[in-house]
Structures are given as C-alpha cells and as structure tokens.
C-alpha cells in the first residue's frame, strides 16, 4: 500500500453543494421506521432520499445529512448511516439485511478521507485541520468499496439498558469505473443469540436521553432538565467528599460532580461549583456529592486517572445509594 500525503493544505475553491435525489421525500435525511421491536426480533426499514454532493477539484465529496463518513485515511470517504438500538442481554447479535431499491450513478470520484493534523491557532488554541491524503492502491482496485452493506459494532450498555450500533453503508463505490451503487431502501432485521431478560430497561432520569438516542426505546419522558423534585417536602442535599470506602461513594449520591483541585481553592470557581450542586439539590431533589480529582488520584485503585475515574463511577453505580434517580442508580 502506498499512501501519498500532500504536505500543504488544499486551497479549496467554493463549490456549490448539489442535492442528488434518490426518491421523492419531504426530508433530506434518512428516515427509519420500526415495525417490530420485542425480546426476540427488532425490524426496521431505512429510506435514504438522496445525498449532497460537492465537487472538490477532480473529486466529489458525498454527504448524507446527520450521519458520518468512513475515515480510513486515503480511502474513499463513503457515507455511513448508523443507528443505536435497545437489545436484551445476549451473547451476540445476528444482522440480516434486505436490499430493496438500487440506483446507479456514473462519473463520480468520491473524495478520499483526509488526515486530521493538529494546528496551533493564534492565542494557543489547537484545531484539527484536514490534510489531503490519497491511497493509490485503494483507488486502483476495480471493486466496490467498502464491499459490505452493514455490520453491528459497540455492543454495550447505557446504565441497565443493553445496546448495539447498526452501521449501514448504502453507497458502494468503484474508484476505477467511477460508479456509485446506492441502496435507497434497506430493511434491517436483528435477532439475538442466547438472549435473556427484556428488550427495554428503565433508566430513570435518563429515559428521555435514551429515548432520543435509541430508535426502538419507548421513553416515559423523565429527564433531569425538569424539576423532578418539584413539590418534595425535603429537597436534596449537597456536600464535598474525600473518603471512598470500597472505592465508591457509599453515601447517598444521585448526582456526582468531579472537579480539578484548582477550582476548590480558587474562590470564584468554587462558588460556581457550589451553586451548580445546590441547584441540582433544590431543583431536582438530588443528593449531590462533589469530589476533587486529587482525592480520586490518591485513593482509588487504577493504573491511571482514566481508570481510577471509571472505577469510582462503576463502583458507585453498582454499590452506591441513589434515592431520587427513579432507577436506584
């Protein structure tokens, strides 16, 4: 493989962004429709109304609104459509894709994914700048890229809710023949191997967040942006903590704030932190605990601070006491 990197930044001319329509729609972004969602099967259909195309020198930069593009440096920057789904506890997820509509275009040369280079701006700020990169072996391969239409990744959890991400690649690009095959309608079927439990779990005050993130999660609307504590006779509490028995906040804790040591001693900053803690206690009815990073570093087991923070959060979630988050965590 030969990767060519141009040492200077391209001076892009201002080109018009063109809408390339696949099918008539009131939307310019993909539309998904969930038809089945239960403990054994999740089925949904994705309709892609079109793409935005911008000519850049001899290339075409392709975009599907509100979704990402492949970022393998020097390879074609093919759009990716992705969705997060709620799933039951299971060993693995089985993905079956049905391709419903195909449209083919010729005369396209999809732009290669650039390398992102850190650049220091005036005042010391750091920005990531795109630098052109071109993988010759990728663009001399007479085959469709990426060569697959879908996969699942990032099987994990949001609090008690199991999730998986479905990645769809509706555009297939042949860089030698300069053609694009676009699948404007895709049916996705998800089944589960060795599944147990329910598809959906209550996540307390994160219901609204998870409902807006997972396409098949039915939210009850509960969130921390409204006053969950309105009308409570006893408002929440807030305090600083320096001791972590069992590497966790073992006292009542609905809401945890972690701050740098500087903001504890710098009076103006500490006033703002205390104000935020007091707001969450009085507005939401939360029991708030504030800890300094230096105390985590000194007390929590871990090979680095990232692991120490993770251990504190995980142990507090598993063993702590939360009375006002509506899922006990």
pLDDT tens per residue across span 71-114: 999 999 999 999 999 999 999 999 999 999 999 999 999 999 99
Predicted local distance difference test score (pLDDT) of residue 147:
97
Predicted local distance difference test score (pLDDT) of residue 230:
54
Going by pLDDT thresholds of 50, 70 and 90, the confidence category of residue 227 is low
Whether the predicted pLDDT of 7 surpasses 60:
no
- Please give the Cα distance from 232 to 223 (Å, whole number): 17
Going by pLDDT thresholds of 50, 70 and 90, the confidence category of residue 64 is very high
Fold entry, domain 3-193: Immunoglobulin-like (2.60.40)
Predicted local distance difference test score (pLDDT) of residue 73:
97
Instruction: Give the number of other CB atoms < 10 A from CB of residue 217.
Output: 22
Where does the chain hold its CATH 2.60.40.3800 domain(s)? 3-193
Predicted local distance difference test score (pLDDT) of residue 232:
63
User: According to DSSP H, which parts of the chain are helical?
Assistant: 136-139, 207-213, 262-265, 267-279, 293-299, 305-319
- Residue 166: which of 219, 203, 207, 215 has the closest Cα? 215
Predicted local distance difference test score (pLDDT) of residue 229:
58
Predicted local distance difference test score (pLDDT) of residue 56:
96
- pLDDT, greater one: 125 or 200: 200
Predicted local distance difference test score (pLDDT) of residue 222:
87
Query: What's the average model confidence in pLDDT over 228-243?
Result: 79
Q: Mind listing the pLDDT tens digit for each residue in 35-45? A: 999 999 999 99
Cβ within 8 Å of residue 226, ≥6 positions away: none
Query: 21 — phi, psi (to 5°)?
Result: -85, 135
- Please give the Cα distance from 91 to 193 (Å, whole number): 6
Q: Mind listing the pLDDT tens digit for each residue in 305-320? A: 999 999 999 999 999 8
Query: What's the average model confidence in pLDDT over 287-306?
Result: 95
- Residue 5: which of 76, 74, 99 has the closest Cα? 74
- Please give the Cα distance from 321 to 232 (Å, whole number): 19
Q: Mind listing the pLDDT tens digit for each residue in 203-221? A: 998 999 999 999 999 999 8
Predicted local distance difference test score (pLDDT) of residue 3:
47
Going by pLDDT thresholds of 50, 70 and 90, the confidence category of residue 1 is very low
- pLDDT, greater one: 210 or 326: 210
> In the structure encoding, which two tokens stand for residue 6, read together?
């141009």
């Amino acid at each position: 493989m030969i990767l060519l990197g141009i040492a200077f930044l391209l001076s892009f001319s201002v080109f018009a962004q063109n809408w390339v329509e696949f099918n008539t729609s009131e939307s310019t972004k993909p539309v998904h429709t969930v038809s089945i969602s239960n403990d054994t099967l999740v089925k949904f259909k994705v309709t892609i109304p079109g793409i935005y195309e911008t000519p850049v020198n001899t290339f075409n930069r392709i975009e599907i609104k509100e979704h990402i593009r492949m970022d393998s440096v020097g390879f074609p920057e093919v759009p990716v459509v992705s969705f997060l789904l709620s799933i039951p506890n299971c060993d693995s997820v089985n993905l079956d894709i049905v391709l419903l509509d195909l449209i083919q275009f010729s005369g396209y040369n999809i732009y290669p994914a650039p390398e992102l280079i850190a650049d220091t701006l005036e005042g010391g700020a750091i920005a990531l700048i795109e630098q052109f990169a071109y993988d010759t072996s990728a663009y001399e391969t007479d085959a469709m890229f990426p060569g697959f239409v879908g996969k699942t990744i990032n099987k994990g959890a949001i609090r008690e809710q199991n999730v998986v991400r479905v990645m769809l690649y509706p555009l297939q690009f042949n860089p030698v023949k300069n053609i694009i095959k676009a699948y404007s309608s895709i049916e996705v079927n998800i089944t589960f191997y060795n599944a147990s439990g329910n598809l959906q779990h209550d996540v307390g005050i994160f219901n609204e967040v998870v409902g807006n993130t997972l396409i098949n999660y039915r939210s009850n609307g509960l969130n921390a942006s409204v006053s969950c504590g309105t009308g409570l006779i006893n408002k929440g509490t807030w305090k600083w903590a320096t001791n972590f028995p069992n590497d966790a906040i073992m006292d009542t804790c609905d809401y945890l704030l972690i701050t740098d040591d500087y903001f504890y001693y710098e009076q103006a900053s500490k006033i703002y932190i205390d104000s935020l803690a007091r707001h969450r206690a009085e507005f939401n009815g939360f029991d708030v605990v504030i800890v300094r990073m230096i105390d985590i570093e000194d007390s929590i087991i871990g090979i680095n601070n990232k692991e120490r923070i993770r251990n504190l959060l995980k142990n507090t979630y598993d063993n702590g006491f939360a009375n006002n988050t509506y899922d006990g965590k």
